[in-house]
Amino acid sequence: MQLLVKTCKQERMNFERLIARLFVAAGGIFWAAALFGADFGYRDQDVFNSASSALLPLAIAVFALILGWFYENLTGVLLLIAAAGVVVWGLMAGWEETGVWWLMSGVLTAPTAVAGLLFLSAGRMQRICELEE
C-alpha cells in the first residue's frame, strides 16, 4: 500500500500556502477594521487616533505574511503559540461568558491555529520535495 509513502505534491503545498496567507491577510484586515470601528464608533476618537491604533493588528499581519513567505515553519510555530496565547489571555482576563469564548475562538484562535497548521504542513511538503530532488 502506498498510503504512507512521502511524495512531493506541489499543488497541495501551494494550496496550503495560499490558504494560510489568505487567513493571515483576512485576519489582519478584519482586526484592523474592528479596532478602527471600536475606537471611532464607541470611544469617540477622531479618525487619525482610530487609524493609528488600527495599524498595530495590520502591522502584525503584514509581519506574519512576510515571515511566512520565507520561513514557513517558524511562522507556523509562532501562529500556534499566538493561538495558545489567546486562550491563556482569556483565562487570565477572566472571560466568564461562553459567548466571549465562542466569539474569540471563531474570529481569532481558530483562524490563527488553522493558518499555523497550514504553514507547518506546507513547510513539511517543501522538505519532502527538496529530498526528492
- pLDDT score of 68: 93
- pLDDT score of 4: 66
**Which pTM does this prediction carry?**
0.87
Q: Specify the amino acid at residue 131.
A: L
**Quick one: cell of 62?**
503584514
- pLDDT score of 3: 62
Q: Which residues of 73-102 are buried (b: 16+ CB within 10 A; e: fewer)?
A: eebbebbbebbeebbeebeeeeeeeeeeee
Q: How far is CA 23 from CA 86, 88, 102, 121, 125, in A?
A: 17, 22, 18, 15, 19
Residues of the chain with pLDDT under 50: none
